[in-house]
Each structure stands twice: as C-alpha cells, then as structure tokens.
C-alpha cells in the first residue's frame, strides 16, 4: 500500500526520505519517488518503478539536494505501475509536488475541468488533479491553496505537498488515509506510518480526518479545512526499531511466526485473571448494564482477521450464549443489516486501517450499534473511531501475510468471550479451566515451533504441488480457511479450505495422488468424524498431512505425514493448529524462492475499497 514520508529540517533530506521509504517497504508497493526543494524555481523530483533500490539508483545518477522534501511508495490504483504514474506529481510548471495515499473519486470530472482550463496532465493517476487544483488556487500561501483544492475533492486522501513558491514548508492533510507528524529537534517529519520515522523521533501527532498540518523548521500547526486551529496532543511511540527489523530471521514472516509465544502472552498480560476465570479488559468503555443488555453481536473484518472472527463467533455462541454473525466487512457495508442498540459490532483489524473494515464499522455505528475494535496498530483509525477496544499488543507485523496478529486476535476474542460469559452464566470453575489452559498456550506454541524442522521436511516434499486442500471441522474449520489463505498468499499455490465433512459434496472429485490434503484433526469432539474423512482421502490415493494431538491407533497406516501438537481445550486449538500451517506455507514459499514478505499483488494494509 502507498506510503508517505516528508522532512523539513537542516539535514540533507534525500537520504532521510529514502531511509524512511525503506521502512515502509513492508507495506507493499510497486514504484517510488522523491521531491526536494533546493532553492531553485522548480521542484526536483526523481522516480523509479520497482524497489526503493531503483529509486536510490536514480537519485545516485542524478542527485537531488535540499533540506525540505517529500517521498512516496505507490501501490497502483489508477494507471499501471510505472515511473510516470509514480508519485510525487507536479503542477504544469513543476513548482508544486504532491504525494497522495487514497483515491480521489471525482478525479475524472476535475481532470476534465482542469484540462479545459489549459492544464496539461502527465500521468494517468487520480493524484495529479490535486497538484493542478493547488496550482489553480495558489495565491502566495501553500496551505490556503491546499485547503481550497481539498474542498473540491471527493474521496480519501493522506497528502503531503511542497512548493518552490512557498519554500521550507510541507502541508499535509488527511481524510480517510492515515498521516502523522513526527516532532524532532529543529526538524519535523510527515509520515503515513510511524515505522518511517521511528529512527529519528518517537514523538508524533496523529492527524484526524479533515485536518491540515503545516510543518516548517520553526514548528507545526494543525487546523481544519476552514483554517480553524485544532489543538493536538503529542503521543510517544513505545515500539523499538529493532522490533521492526528482521531480528536474525530470513524473513519478517518467519520472525513473526516465532514471536508468537511472546505476542500472545502480551495480549493476555494483565487481562487474564486466572484464579477467578475472567478477563479484565480496560478499554471496553461499556457499563456493566450495557454489557448485560447486549443480546447480539456482529463480527466484521477482512482476510485473516475475518478467519479469527469466525473462531470468535464459535467461542462466544458456545460460552456466552450471545447470537453472533461474522461477516466480511466488504459485504456488510453494502447490505441492509439488522442492527439495534443492543448489537455489539466487533471490528477486527491488524492494521486498523483496512478501508472496508473501517466503512463497516462506521455503518454499524450509524445504525446505532456499539462498536468494539480488536486492533493491533495503536492510534490507527479504527482504534480511534471505535467506542471501545482491545489492543492486540502483538507489536508491528511487517510480513504481508498475517501470522502473529491472527493468534493474538483469537486470544483477544477468548478474553472477550470470558468477559461476557462470566457476566452471564459461565461458572467460575469453567472460566478458570479456560484461563488455565490459555496460560499454557505460549509454552505450547514454543513446543510446536521447536518442531519446525519436521515441517520444513514436509514442505520440501510438497513444494511443487499445484493444489492443496485444507480440511477441518468445528473450531478448526476457520483454521483450514486460514491455512489455505496463507499458502495462496505467499506460495501462489492454489489452495482451498473446507469443512471436512463437506469434502464429499464436491472437492472429493479432485482427490488423486497429486492432491495433498491437510487435515486439522486435534483430539477434540469431532476427531472421530475427521478420521473417516482421512480414510476417504486415503481410499482415493490422496496424500495426507495430519495435524493431531496424540498417538492415535485409528490413524495408523492411514496418513502420510503427521504433525503433532500439544493438547488443549477445544476452543483454544486454533491457536495451536494454525502454527504448523503458517510454517508449512512459509517453508514452501521460501523453497520456491518467492518474496515471502511482499507477495505479488498483495498489500499489508488495504486502504482502498
Ligand atoms: C490484507 C492483508 C491480509 C489481512 C487483510 C485485513 O489483505 O494482506 O493479511 O488479513 O488485509 O487486514 P487488517 O489489517 O484489517 O487485519
């Protein structure tokens, strides 16, 4: 997804900006660019298609100087990824440069109007209209021109703008796309993501929708689109830079898989009250009475977060006895859902910025539901707009394919379930049993991770497969979906997740010796049923990889590969069974020589519809 970095200070801006862009590489992008002011009449811009290294080459070949600059990584939405469509974009006279995240929805009307007025466009992007609108409105002061331009714009944006005609200044504005200001000593930054500037400062100001910031070497100011000043507090970032780096692993994804004993511990810490079998969730912002009145829940999310939502639904229905519907955010936002004041809408998002999820949350709110965000990124839009929330506390997740956020989401949902169930009819002893099992999970994940070499051997066997089937039942059906998604995302192997018993209604036709079938079959209440499905696969020559939790005579001679996991409660198995699946897809993708952390066509945070 697109990323923005800007710098105003006394240092050479280009190396700082490029270093900042590199920190944003994990977001996924297809081209990059940088613009600087050097006291001349024109903005100096360099762009390149592909990786930041290409941009560095372009800057090396034709250096840019100056202490004020903006930079961008682009993930194409309008116009293909190429140098011309890369940001920054200029006005007609190259005096203004704009970087933009988001989509200008009325760009074609604006573009037509600007062309009629004599403006010349050089790219196919929606962003370029902003540069020309600012040019039209410019009357000596950049922020006024930016505000005038933005009043004409429909859609979403996080922008940073500079101009040779009002030098030493960056104007930034936000609507629907994250943006923050970094406060240094005698220097200021603008960024779409804190990772870009963390090596320079930990003090940040998060902009809210409808706000415009002006940043110069003397300081910053924030106002609304009508130029009325807005007071903003400074937040301190506690994440360390080395938390954002690979920490000795070949890929971020592998590092993040191995972090899970720690990250789920962080999600539980200070919240799980084991002896009393309940959870203390400080951010719910809900009275006891309101909590009691909730009689239905909607869980909404996208991708991996949606899979955790499906597990949450099973837990909450089983133990809290509240009706739950889990829905793709992209579907929820465009239908006419039944929501009432006793509906709790649980919104799950690692990034807290996914456009569909955010829109679904706003829709639920609009219809009177109380919203609760399960979000990892602190200060993200969903986290700021929800009525209450539970931070996942999993630390930055950089690999595009989500791993540690997923397990933290399931843990957070278990905590939420305990909060609700214990206020209803769950006994303290049942609550305690669940809490005690949760406390063991970090160690149990560690045990599975120590078996990574076995999973790597299995990956070697199957790395050239072209199709995979993942089957699970009950709590492990969503894990089958997640296992298949992980494989698709990073190895580009076609994979499908199915409820195991549904196999006979279609997918069984696909089974032959070339179709590996992964069974998620821990020893739970549906284990016996799954054994029959394994037999059906065996009878058709299929090869099976079975994740199971104890020695089982029924499996003897039936399976090709076994991955053993420790035993836990039925509702907690997904937190364990997903780990081998994450490792399996990781090793298969790595063995295929693929870009595990930035798979093709995918983005970490999808801030467009
Ligand atoms: C993208 C990512 C997925 C992620 C989904 C939802 O598609 O590639 O890994 O699960 O967005 O993201 P969120 O940040 O809302 O959890």
Instruction: List, for residues 171-195, the tens digit of each pLDDT value.
Output: 999 998 889 999 999 999 999 988 8
Q: What is the pLDDT of residue 604?
A: 77
Q: What is the CATH number of the domain that holds 322?
A: 3.40.50.10490
Domain boundary among 238, 267, 296: 238
Is 445 domain-assigned? no
CB-based contact 226:193 (threshold 8 Å) = no
* Judgement on whether residues 209 and 267 belong to the same structural domain of the protein: no
* Judgement on whether residues 420 and 457 belong to the same structural domain of the protein: no
Ranges under pLDDT 70 in the chain? 1, 27-28, 241-245, 247
User: For residue 402, how far is its CA from the centre of ligand 1 (angstroms)?
Assistant: 7
Question: Is 409 touching ligand 1 by the criterion CB < 6 Å?
Answer: no
Nearest to 159 by CA among 144, 145, 148, 170: 170
Tokens 């923005």 belong to which residue?
4
User: For residue 114, how far is its CA from the centre of ligand 1 (angstroms)?
Assistant: 36
Give the predicted TM-score (pTM) of the model.
0.78
Is 182 domain-assigned? yes
Question: Is 77 touching ligand 1 by the criterion CB < 6 Å?
Answer: no
Question: Is 45 touching ligand 1 by the criterion CB < 6 Å?
Answer: no
Q: In what order do the strands lie in the sheet with 494-499?
A: 494-499, 467-472, 516-520, 543-548, 561-564
Count of alpha carbons within 13 angstroms of residue 552, beta-carbon side = 21
Question: Is 400 touching ligand 1 by the criterion CB < 6 Å?
Answer: yes
Is 197 domain-assigned? yes
Mutate to test the pocket of ligand 1, among 351, 373, 406 (most ligand atoms within 8 A of CB): 351
Residue 92: active-site member: no
* Judgement on whether residues 373 and 301 belong to the same structural domain of the protein: yes
User: For residue 350, how far is its CA from the centre of ligand 1 (angstroms)?
Assistant: 7
Domain boundary among 238, 261, 288: 238
Kindly give the number of the ligand 1 atom that is closest to the alpha carbon of 303: 10
Full residue range of the structural domain in which residue 264 is found: 245-439
User: For residue 414, how far is its CA from the centre of ligand 1 (angstroms)?
Assistant: 20
Q: In what order do the strands lie in the sheet with 3-8?
A: 44-49, 31-37, 68-74, 3-8, 188-191, 180-183, 203-206, 235-236
* Judgement on whether residues 249 and 215 belong to the same structural domain of the protein: no
Q: What is the pLDDT of residue 242?
A: 63
Domain boundary among 405, 439, 473: 439
CB-based contact 18:55 (threshold 8 Å) = yes
User: CA dist 256 to 48, 401, 405, 416, 503, Å?
Assistant: 30, 10, 9, 24, 32
Collapse the DSSP code of 200 into the 3-class scheme (helix H, G, I; strand E, B; otherwise coil) and give the result.
coil
Is 364 domain-assigned? yes
Kindly give the number of the ligand 1 atom that is closest to the alpha carbon of 489: 8
Residues, the chain? 609
Q: What is the CATH number of the domain that holds 201?
A: 3.60.20.10
Query: Where are the extended beta strands (E) located within 294-440?
Result: 296-301, 323-328, 343-349, 370-375, 388-391
Give the integer Cα–Cα distance in Å for 146 and 223.
12
Kindly give the number of the ligand 1 atom that is closest to the alpha carbon of 301: 15
* Judgement on whether residues 369 and 272 belong to the same structural domain of the protein: yes
* Judgement on whether residues 365 and 464 belong to the same structural domain of the protein: no
Closest-CA residue, ligand 1 atom 15, reads 349
Question: Is 357 touching ligand 1 by the criterion CB < 6 Å?
Answer: yes
Q: What is the pLDDT of residue 44?
A: 98
45: number of Cβ within 10 Å = 21
* Judgement on whether residues 575 and 458 belong to the same structural domain of the protein: yes
Question: Is 606 touching ligand 1 by the criterion CB < 6 Å?
Answer: yes
* Judgement on whether residues 116 and 219 belong to the same structural domain of the protein: yes
- Tally the domains of the chain: 3
Count of alpha carbons within 13 angstroms of residue 435, beta-carbon side = 26
* Judgement on whether residues 606 and 462 belong to the same structural domain of the protein: yes
Kindly give the number of the ligand 1 atom that is closest to the alpha carbon of 354: 15
Is 276 domain-assigned? yes
Give the integer Cα–Cα distance in Å for 427 and 435.
12
Catalytic residue among 2, 169, 302, 486: 2
Is 18 domain-assigned? yes
State phi, psi for 282 to the nearest 5 degrees: -65, -25
* Judgement on whether residues 404 and 517 belong to the same structural domain of the protein: no
Question: Is 308 touching ligand 1 by the criterion CB < 6 Å?
Answer: no
Structure tokens at 282: 């400080």
Is 154 domain-assigned? yes
Is 444 domain-assigned? no
* Judgement on whether residues 253 and 230 belong to the same structural domain of the protein: no
Residue 11: active-site member: no
Collapse the DSSP code of 572 into the 3-class scheme (helix H, G, I; strand E, B; otherwise coil) and give the result.
helix
Question: Is 303 touching ligand 1 by the criterion CB < 6 Å?
Answer: yes
Q: What is the pLDDT of residue 509?
A: 84
* Judgement on whether residues 382 and 486 belong to the same structural domain of the protein: no
Closest-CA residue, ligand 1 atom 4, reads 303
């Amino acid at each position: 997804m697109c990323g923005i970095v800007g710098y105003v200070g006394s240092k050479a801006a280009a190396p700082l900006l490029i270093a900042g862009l590199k920190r944003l590489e994990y977001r996924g992008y297809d081209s990059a660019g940088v613009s600087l002011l050097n006291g001349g009449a024109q903005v100096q811009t360099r762009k390149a298609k592909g990786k930041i290294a290409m941009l560095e080459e372009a800057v090396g070949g034709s250096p840019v100087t100056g202490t004020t600059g903006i930079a961008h990584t682009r993930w194409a939405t309008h116009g293909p990824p190429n140098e011309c469509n890369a940001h920054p974009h200029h006005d007609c006279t190259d005096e203004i440069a704009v970087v933009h995240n988001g989509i200008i929805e009325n760009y074609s009307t604006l573009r037509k109007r600007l062309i009629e007025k004599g403006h010349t466009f050089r790219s196919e992007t929606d962003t370029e209209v902003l540069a020309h609108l600012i040019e039209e409105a410019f009357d000596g002061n950049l922020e006024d021109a930016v505000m005038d331009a933005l009043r004409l714009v429909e859609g979403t944006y996080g922008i940073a703008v500079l101009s040779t005609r009002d030098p030493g200044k960056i104007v930034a504005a936000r609507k629907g796309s994250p943006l923050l200001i970094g406060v240094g000593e005698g220097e200021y930054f603008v960024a779409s993501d804190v990772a870009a500037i963390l090596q320079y400062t930990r003090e940040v100001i998060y902009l809210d929708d409808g706000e415009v910031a002006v940043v110069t070497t003397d300081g910053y100011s924030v106002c609304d689109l009508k130029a009325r000043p807005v007071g903003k507090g400074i937040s301190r970032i506690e994440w360390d830079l080395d938390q954002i780096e690979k920490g000795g692993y070949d890929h971020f994804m592998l590092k993040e898989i191995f972090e899970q004993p720690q990250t789920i511990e962080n999600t539980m810490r200070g919240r799980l009250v084991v002896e009393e079998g309940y959870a203390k969730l400080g951010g719910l912002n809900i009275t006891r009475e309101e909590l009691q009145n909730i009689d239905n829940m909607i869980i909404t999310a996208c991708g991996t977060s949606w899979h955790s939502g499906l597990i949450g639904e099973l837990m909450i229905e089983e133990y809290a006895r509240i009706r739950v519907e889990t829905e793709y955010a992209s579907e929820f936002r465009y239908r006419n859902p039944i929501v009432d004041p006793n509906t709790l809408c649980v919104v799950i998002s690692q990034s807290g910025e996914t456009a569909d999820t955010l829109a679904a949350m706003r829709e639920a709110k609009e219809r009177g539901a109380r919203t609760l965000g399960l979000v990892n990124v602190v200060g993200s839009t969903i986290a700021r707009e929800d009525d209450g929330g539970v931070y996942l506390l999993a630390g930055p997740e950089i690999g595009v394919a989500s791993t540690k956020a997923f397990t933290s989401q399931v843990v957070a949902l278990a905590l939420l379930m305990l909060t609700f169930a214990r206020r209803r009819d769950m006994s303290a002893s049942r609550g305690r049993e669940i809490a005690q099992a949760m406390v063991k999970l970090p160690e149990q994940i560690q045990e599975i991770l120590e078996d990574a070499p076995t999973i790597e051997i299995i990956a070697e066997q199957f790395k050239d497969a072209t199709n995979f089937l993942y089957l699970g039942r009950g709590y492990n059906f969503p894990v089958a979906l997640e296992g298949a998604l992980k494989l698709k995302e990073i190895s580009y192997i076609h994979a499908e997740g199915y409820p195991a018993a549904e196999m006979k209604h279609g997918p069984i036709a696909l089974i032959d010796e070339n179709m590996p079938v992964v069974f998620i079959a821990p020893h739970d209440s549906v284990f016996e049923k799954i054994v029959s499905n394994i037999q059906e696969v065996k009878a058709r020559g299929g090869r099976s990889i079975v994740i199971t939790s104890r020695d089982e005579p029924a499996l003897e001679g039936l399976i090709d590969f076994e991955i053993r996991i420790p035993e836990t409660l039925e509702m907690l198995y997904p937190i364990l069974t997903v780990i081998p699946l994450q490792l399996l897809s990781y090793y298969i993708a790595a063995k295929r020589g693929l870009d595990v952390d930035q798979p093709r066509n995918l983005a970490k945070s999808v801030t467009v519809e």
